[in-house]
Amino acid sequence: MDSGFSQRAASYFESLQESICSALTKIDGRSIFREDTWKHAHGGGGRSRVLQEGAVFEKAGVNTSSIRTPLTAATAGRLKMDAREIAASGISLVLHPLNPHVPAVHANFRFLEADNGDWWFGGGADLTPYYLYEEDARHFHGVWKSACDTADASYYPRYKKWCDEYFTVKHRGESRGIGGIFFDDLRGDFDTHFRFIQQCGNAFLGSYAPIVERRRAATYGERERRWQLQRRGRYAEFNLVYDRGTVFGLETEGRVESILMSLPPLARWDYNAVPEPGSSEEKLLAVLRQPKSWI
């Protein structure tokens, strides 16, 4: 694990954190990011940045980490690899807006390198609206298709499908949101895949910021807020039950506060909450139960 690959990846993720946090602070206009640095028990650590109770973002987290950790038999088995130690670097961000007309968004880009010489990149970005605006969906997917196309025209259709399949709340029979891209196990030429990761990381703000500006001033009331909190409950269910990053972080003794940064500050689990027929809420559910193409 002394190839230098991990350090190159970690340096990029840290610079990306700086640029994203700077831009989000300007977008919010009221609150700033609080920063915590932490050390991992087996080497390395991370830098967590969280903005709370802002004008736009009720909670926004942008975390980086670069750690070394031994692998348990269970974790090695799930990763399908014969290794005893792994180095993991990455950036993970989750933004929970206050206005229900502004969608939540998640992105993660990571590099892992094992002591047996194996390494790979993974990542992705996905959008979780509470109210469906097709203009926003087309914009988000269009930016990620463009980012994918710079590397390989086959990436977007493959990674869009992978995203739809991965971000499924199986016990609810619905997707967490309207997808984006998701990929893992990118191996081969480091420089080729690293350029793709950088293209994706640099595309994030362009995929999301225009949507925020279009929706941040939209009016809403108690009904829209209640629906938003109910959908956040679904978001929390996915992250706590199915998300591989959450499981990996907890199993490798990561910082719990940073791992669970992804959870919304408020959520609801109203009993048997069913939207009215023909409503905007039902329109969203129809898409979540049957993902569609946005390009």
Q: Which of 40, 96, 101, 106 is catalytic?
A: 106
- Rounded distance, CA 97 to CA 70, Å? 37
CA dist 102 and 94 (Å) reads: 13
User: With contact defined as beta carbons under 8 Å apart, do 82 and 76 qualify?
Assistant: yes
What does the alpha-carbon distance between residue 125 and residue 133 come to, in Å, rounded to a whole number?
A: 18
Q: Assess whether 141 carries a catalytic annotation.
A: no
Q: Where are the beta strands (DSSP E) in 129-202?
A: 168-169, 174-175, 179-186
Whether the CB-CB separation of 192 and 186 falls below 8 Å is answered with no
Per DSSP, the residues of 71-82 read PPHHHHHHHT--
Burial 110-131 (b: 16+ CB within 10 A, else e): bbbbbeeeebbbbbbbbbbbbb
Going by C-alpha positions, the residue among 221, 228, 237 that lies closest to residue 273 is: 228
User: What phi, psi does 171 have (nearest 5°)?
Assistant: -75, -10
CB 254 within 8 A of CB 40: yes
- Please answer whether residues 295 and 180 qualify as being in contact, where contact means their C-beta atoms are separated by less than 8 angstroms: no
**Residue given tokens 């990996």 in the structure block:** 248
* Token couple for 241: 């039950």
Partners of 44 in the beta sheet? 67
What would the two tokens of residue 195 be?
């350029």
Residues serving a catalytic function are: 106
